[in-house]
Amino acid sequence: MTTASGLPVGRVGFGAMRLPAAPGPAREQALAVVRRAVGLGVPLIDTAFLYGWGANEELLAEALHPYPEGLLVATKVGIVPSEEGEGWAHDGRPESLRRQTEQALRRLRLDRVELLQLHRLDPAVPVAEQVGALRELRDAGLVGGIGLSEVTVEQLAEARRTAAIASVQNRYNLFDREHEAVLAQCEAAGIAFLPWRPVAAERSAEVDAVARELGATPQQVLLAWLLARSPVMLPIPGTASAAHLEENVAAGALRLTDDLRARLDRAAAGA
């Protein structure tokens, strides 16, 4: 299934953030995990400049180039290194976004990135200027779809006045539904919703009980809940473990009855 924007939904994607990129055995394992993800039919792999300041993108290119047909590689721009705070800063200036995109294309060994996301909107730059820069890149053939990350309903609506938005990547899971209204807006417009942190950190006796009844893991139940929650949902759980990856992908085949979903929703409401 695809959204109105043409992005695949309804299956489990892969978030590459956790993959180690430094030389050594851990990197070799990371390459194997990425290749296994493709072998399992993962439709989308999500990366970003922030993940190792380009090292994660280079890892994906080493593992997968030339990329198999049908695989969508998504990356993010708008964040740059900084010596202050958490080690990063916003930079949504149009000239910076163009430069970051060109560098990402070189690292990924692509002529066009099918989904380019603003990692965060820069509060110092008008939304129309930031999204407009990505629209120009799309019009030039360097970008397929434009995505946003961690946006409000108002920011999403403002961005859509400048360009069509293909996806939104906000934090969302069974126990964390702060962005419920954003999800609803995405559903109404056919915009893919890529929840990051899709597996809640909280332990829940009810989730554990449902998992036992289904012969599944609690993590699989949480991913299955997301897939059942909305037709535009595409979770992107991350892992550096091949076994964990296979469990995550298998969650795409797990079906929750209305009763099980109601039990999970009640557990979340009472948490």
Domain count, the chain: 1
Does residue 266 form part of some domain?
A: no
Active site (catalytic) residues: 51
Q: DSSP letters of the chain?
A: -B-TTS-B-SS--EE-TT---SSSHHHHHHHHHHHHHHHTT--EEE--TTTTTTHHHHHHHHHHSSPPTT-EEEEEESEEE-SSTTSEEE---HHHHHHHHHHHHHHHT-S-EEEEEESS--TTS-HHHHHHHHHHHHHTTSEEEEEEES--HHHHHHHHTTS---EEE-B-BTTB-TTHHHHHHHHHHT-EE--BS-S-SS--HHHHHHHHHHT--HHHHHHHHHHHH-TTB----B-S-HHHHHHHHHGGG----HHHHHHHHHHHHH-
What pTM, to 2 d.p., does this model score? 0.95
Q: pLDDT tens digits for the chain (271 residues)?
A: 778 777 888 789 999 999 999 999 999 999 999 999 999 999 999 999 999 999 999 999 999 999 999 999 999 999 999 998 899 999 999 999 999 999 999 999 999 999 999 999 999 999 999 999 999 999 999 999 999 999 999 999 999 999 999 999 999 999 999 999 999 999 999 999 999 999 977 789 999 999 999 999 999 999 999 999 999 999 999 999 999 999 999 999 999 999 999 999 999 998 8
- Domain of residue 129, CATH code: 3.20.20.100
Does residue 119 form part of some domain?
A: yes
Does residue 130 form part of some domain?
A: yes
- Domain limits at 76? 14-202+230-253
Does residue 269 form part of some domain?
A: no
